[in-house]
Structure formats: C-alpha cells, structure tokens
Amino acid sequence: MRLKKNQFLILIITLIFTFLLVYSPHFENPFPIHIDEWHHITEAIKLKQGNFQKGLAASKSGFHFFLVIISFFDSLVLIYKFLPAIFAVISAIVLFFIVRSKTSHLESGFLIALFSIIFFASIKSNANLTGLWFFTPLTFSIPFIFIYIFLFSEGIIRQNNKLILLSLIIMLFLIPIHAISVLFSIPILIIFSLFHLQYLKREYRLFLIFLLIPLIGIIFYSWSLNLTFINSIKDLIARLTFKHGWGVLETENSFFEIYSLTGYILAIIGIIYIAASKNRLKENLIYILWPVVLLISIFIFRLNGISFLSPYQRNLYYFSISLPFLSSLGVYSILKIIKIQFNNKFNSEKNKIIKVISVLLVLIILFFTFKSYFSIQENIELYKTIDTKNYEAIKFLSSFEFGRVISTPEISEAIFPISGHEPIATIYFYGNRTILDNFFNINSDCEIKKRIIKDNNVSYVLTENPINCDWEIIYNKNNNFIYKV
C-alpha cells in the first residue's frame, strides 16, 4: 500500500485543494463564522479559567478540553479559522487510507481513494446543518467515526477481537466529545453484526463489553447535569427522542443542500457495484447499511417529526459523509465499463481513445460535483458576527475593569472570548436576547435604555451607531463606539 512518488504528489495537491476549499469562507472573514464556534470558544476559556459549569454544555467538555490545549499555542479567536480546514484534511487522510485498504485488490485502488477525498471535500456546509466549514464537536468527530466504523466492520469480517476492542475504545473516547457521533451508528453496527450471527454468538462476552457505551454515557451525563443515575436514564430517554423544533432553525432541508446530484447518482452506481460483487458484498455491506439506515431515519422524521438517538439535522450530515466512498466507486465503475466497451469495439489506438474519454468524463464529473458548492439558500447562508473593526473595539475594551456589556446580538457573541467581559446576552446560548432587542429598538429612547442598563447592571455599551444619551465615550473609531455607563 506504499504510495509512489507521483501518487504522493497527487495526494498532497488534493489535500491542499481540500484545505483551501474548506478554508475559503475565511478569505474575507478571519474570525469564527458560526455561533456554535463562539459558544465552544467561550466554554473552553471558562474551563481554562477554572470557571467550569455543569449543564448541557458540559456534555461536550471533552471537545472544550481539546480547545484548551490549542489555546496554549495562540488565541483561540485568531487560530480558530484554521481548525475547520485542518480537521477536514485529517478526515480526508483517514478516509483515503480506509478506502485504499478496502480497494487494495483493485488496480485502480489509489484513484478510488483519491476520488473519495474529492467527494468528501464536495460536501456542502450551511448555517443550519453546519458542516466542514465550521469547527464543532461534529467535525472534530468525523475522522474518528470513519475509524471506528472501519475497525468494527473489519474486526467482525476478519474475526479479529483486537480491532473490535479498538473500535470500542474510540467510541468511548467520543462520548465526552460528541456522544451523538456514536449513538447514530448503533443501529448500523447492530444490523451489520446480525449478518455475522455465528461469530456474534461465539464471542458474546466480547460484544457484551459494548454495554460500556450506554453505561459510561449515562454516568458522564449524570455528572454533567448533576442528576442521579436513575434520573439520568429517564432524562436521556426523553432527550434522545428528537422532535421537530430541536434545532434553532427548522427547515425542510433538501438533500441537495449538502451533496451534489452528481455525487448521489455515482453513489447509487457504487452501491450497485458492491451489490453485484458477490464475493465482496459481505465485507463492504456496512458501507451500504450506513446510508440506507440513516435514510430510513430521515424519512421517519419527515413523516412523524421524530428522530431517535440522533437529531434529524445530524443524521443528514452523517448520511452525507457515508457517500464519498460510494461515489468514488461509482466513478470507477463507469470508467471500467468504458474501458471494457472500447476494448471490445476498437483495436487501433484504443488506449488513447479510452484515456481521452476518461479524462473528459472525470472533468465533467468534477464540474457538476462542485458547480453548486457555494450556492446556499438565503435563510441558511453564512452570516457575519464580527469584523476586524469590531475586533479592535472589543480588544480595546479588554484593558478596562471587568463589567457587563450590552451590544448587538452578533457582536455580543465575541465579547467574552476577546475581552473577558460578560455580555448581557448573545444570539442563542447566553442571556435573554429580548433585552438586546429592546435596547436597540429604534423606538427605544434614552430613558428606556438607561432603565435597561440599571436593571441589568451594565457597565459598557458597544455599538456600531452613536447613541446620544450623555454617557462617557471611551472609544470612537471606525464606526465603533464604546460608552462607559
């Protein structure tokens, strides 16, 4: 499986392309671009300061601990823009070597693995479903999802207990980081295991160890929310039934919001290829079960508004990351058919003809795969939280005595991570946003504003528009104003 020099060079170029594609939103915006990212930065800084608070946020404390480690190298706010692209590349490398392993018996194994990276990079992102453009517990978990599903399936196929135990270790590792990234796969792994029932029965003691997943999950959850073990079970049962309205924004998501039509068609061809390879079907079955089981879960939600074990929005994303391997197999299948057809019909210069047609076909596939990559619906497109001018204003505020700050919801997201001051509220996770809406309401006069300031013990007002309410102005630069009140 060692790569030749030219293969290694092509792989590096493809990984650079993946990095730049995922990094592209930050060419114009050097700061985190999603409220989830600001939320995780805030929780990581609090954890680093020893101001750790239990609650739902603590259920992802493993991810926050990772961010604490990163923060020793540079400011999280400034370094965060690189993390989505870095982890997309890590995920792509893991996917490449898994696919290379699964297709090592094929002459074109390298190309199939390479195309799996390309289709992985083509997975779209938006503010609702999130995705590779953002660094969250979900995107952190992706390479580990690839690994534990591969190890589990290979362990069962080869009847190798060590591989199965390694997959369990990775699942347990993910529980304090993003438990849903384990829970979504449980039905898939169970169904796959049933196709190897004899091995399952013979090694039942080994598979009973997987009960550690719910056990440790419940213990960690009870610790996070300060609940008793029994109450944790009751609460988890309720929380793991995700109903319509779980997400901040509920929309009738199109499957094309996240993956291209070309990719879907090729994935279907890839499934047909696996199904037709009877001697390889059983060992690749999990890569068919993965999208099929999630597709069933997605349609159940669309019928009755309920999703079990993992939310509908996350299932859509887990569904999408199962497709690149299948899509790359689809490309291989089409190229193989072309080669067979031309070998049968042409004798002279057939190799040149095959190469020209294959290259043209690949270029067409690439064009239509990425054609709509940056097309995002208006209500789920990227939004701006802060810009460089806002950053400079908030950074200036950090030199002043600690206090509570009132600002617009978007700017408020960045106040604590940059300045260490406490925002009155943010867009979603902290405080009561209604207070901000009332304060910045066009009909809100100085008396109303002063009452809000007094009731909420506000020390500073940060705004992009001047407010004439006789407050001491301490910053006036680039249309950013800070008042000490």
Mean pLDDT of 425-434: 86
Helix (H, G, I), strand (E, B) or coil at 461: strand
At residue 313 the predicted structure's pLDDT band, cuts being 50, 70 and 90, is: confident
What 260-264 contacts at long range (C-beta under 8 Å, 24+ apart), as own/partner pairs, is 260/122, 260/368, 260/369, 260/370, 260/371, 260/372, 260/373, 261/368, 262/365, 262/368, 262/369, 263/119, 263/122, 263/323, 263/324, 263/327, 263/369, 264/323, 264/327
Q: What is the pLDDT of residues 65-95, one digit of tens each?
A: 999 999 998 899 999 999 999 999 999 999 9
Task: Please give the structure tokens belonging to residue 25.
Answer: 């939103």
pLDDT of 1 > 90? The answer is: no
Write down the pLDDT at residue 245.
62
Instruction: Answer for the pair 52, 115: CB distance below 8 angstroms, yes or no.
Output: no
Q: What is the pLDDT of residues 153-208, one digit of tens each?
A: 999 999 999 999 999 999 999 999 998 999 999 999 999 999 999 998 898 888 88
H helix or E strand, kind and range, residue 293: helix 286-304
pLDDT of 348 > 60? The answer is: no
Instruction: Answer for the pair 465, 453: CB distance below 8 angstroms, yes or no.
Output: no
pLDDT of 346 > 60? The answer is: no
Q: For residues 88 and 222, what is the distance between their CA atoms, to the nearest angstrom? A: 32
pLDDT of 58 > 80? The answer is: no
Strands 458-463 and 404-406, bridge-based pairing: parallel
pLDDT of 340 > 80? The answer is: no
Mean pLDDT of 364-391: 86
Distance of CA 255 to the CA centre of its chain: 16
Task: Please give the structure tokens belonging to residue 30.
Answer: 């050097």
Question: DSSP alpha helices (H): ranges in 58-194?
Answer: 61-71, 76-79, 83-102, 109-121, 137-158, 161-178, 180-183, 186-194
Q: What is the pTM of this model?
A: 0.91
pLDDT: is 31 or 225 the higher one? 31
Nearest to 313 by CA among 375, 263, 245, 381: 245
Write down the pLDDT at residue 260.
94
Q: What is the pLDDT of residues 121-146, one digit of tens each?
A: 999 998 888 899 999 999 999 999 99
Q: For residues 393 and 374, what is the distance between their CA atoms, to the nearest angstrom? A: 31
pLDDT of 453 > 60? The answer is: yes
Give percent of the chain above pLDDT 90.
53
At residue 246 the predicted structure's pLDDT band, cuts being 50, 70 and 90, is: low
Distances (CA, A) of 463 to 165, 219, 405, 420, 442: 54, 44, 10, 17, 13
Q: Where in the chain is the domain with CATH 3.40.50.12610?
A: 388-484
Q: For residues 223 and 154, what is the distance between their CA atoms, to the nearest angstrom? A: 34
H helix or E strand, kind and range, residue 294: helix 286-304
Instruction: Answer for the pair 68, 44: CB distance below 8 angstroms, yes or no.
Output: yes
What's the fold here for domain 388-484?
Rossmann fold (3.40.50)
Mean pLDDT of 221-240: 76
Q: For residues 235 and 451, what is the distance between their CA atoms, to the nearest angstrom? A: 39
Q: For residues 159 and 203, what is the distance between their CA atoms, to the nearest angstrom? A: 9
Residue position matching structure tokens 């497709």: 323
Q: Mean of the per-residue pLDDT values for the chain?
A: 88
Distances (CA, A) of 475 to 166, 233, 462, 481: 55, 51, 9, 5
Write down the pLDDT at residue 237.
77
Write down the pLDDT at residue 297.
92
